[in-house]
Structure formats: C-alpha cells, structure tokens
C-alpha cells in the first residue's frame, strides 16, 4: 500500500472515530436524561429513552464494524496516528462514562420497580379492594326450590 492510500485510510478512520465520538456524546446525554425521567417520568417516557439509547448503540456498533478493517489496514506511522490515538482514548473515556451512567440508571430503575411492586402488594392486601372484588351476591342464599305454579 502506498503512502497516499494509507493517508486516505487514516483520514477515513479519523472521520469514523469522530462520528463514533459524536454518537457516544449523544448516548451519554440520553442516559443522563433517562436518569431524570426514571425518577420523575412515566413508563412511556422511560421506554422512549431506552429505545433511543438502543438506536444510538446500534449506530455505534455499525460504525465500529467499519473501523475494525480500516484499523487492520492502517500503519502506525501515518500523519494522523496521534490524532487517532487521542480520539480512541476519548472514546474509551466516553464508553466508561456511558457504562457508569447505565449502571446508575439500572439501579434506579430496579428501585423504582421494587417500589411499584410494593404498591401493588399494598393494594392487593387492602380490605376495601378485597371486598370490592367479591360479588355483591356472594353471601346471598342460594335457592333450593323453584315455585313453578306462579
């Protein structure tokens, strides 16, 4: 591979790393908003943020599939190799930040689900709710003879 080809591959690799970095920034932002929504929002809002996060993660993986073969072809002595190394270090930092935020969200969501479960248990054990589930005619005497004469 000549120098011009290697430089073109390196530039493309730099572009892909930059796009991936933008995706990681979006993901961290979505995870931070999701953290707020878990504490205050509805289930639909939480689900919307989860789906958005999944879309961003899919985009990150798609970009990574393009990066891997280019990195294998690229030589270490290219003009942009220091830029690529800096971006890769930043991507690793963003990935760790996203993982930490995701873990916080998972813990918070687990706590919220426990709270909802306990509310359901309280409602199930509420005597008024138990009585409301019973039929109004449950205690009525069941007729044993039918008068057919009229």
Q: Tens digits of per-residue pLDDT, 13-51?
A: 889 999 999 999 999 999 999 999 988 878 888 889 999
Asked if residue 122 is part of any domain, the answer here is: yes
Is residue 20 within 8 Å of 91, Cβ to Cβ?
yes
In a domain, 51, yes or no: yes
For 114, the token pair is 């426990």
Domain membership flag for residue 124: yes
- Asked whether residue 25 is domain-assigned, the answer is yes
Three-state secondary structure call for residue 137: coil
pLDDT reported for residue 72: 79
149 is a domain residue: no
* pTM listed for this prediction: 0.72
Structural domains in the chain (count): 1
Indicate the burial class of 7 (C-beta count within 10 angstroms; 0-12, 13-18, 19 or more).
middle
Q: Which range of residues forms the domain containing residue 84?
A: 3-132
């Amino acid at each position: 591979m000549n120098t011009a080809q290697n430089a073109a591959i390196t530039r493309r690799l730099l572009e892909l790393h930059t796009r991936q970095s933008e995706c990681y920034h979006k993901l961290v932002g979505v995870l931070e908003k999701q953290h707020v929504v878990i504490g205050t929002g509805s289930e639909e809002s939480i689900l919307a943020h989860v789906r958005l996060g999944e879309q961003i993660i899919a985009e990150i993986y798609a970009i990574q599939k393009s990066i891997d073969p280019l990195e294998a072809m690229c030589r270490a002595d290219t003009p942009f190799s220091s830029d690529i190394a800096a971006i890769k270090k930043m991507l690793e930092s963003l990935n760790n930040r996203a993982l930490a935020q995701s873990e916080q969200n998972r813990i918070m969501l687990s706590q919220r689900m426990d709270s909802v479960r306990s509310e359901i248990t309280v409602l199930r054990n509420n005597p008024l709710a138990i009585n409301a589930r019973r039929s109004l005619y449950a205690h009525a005497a069941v007729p044993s003879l039918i008068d057919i004469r009229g």
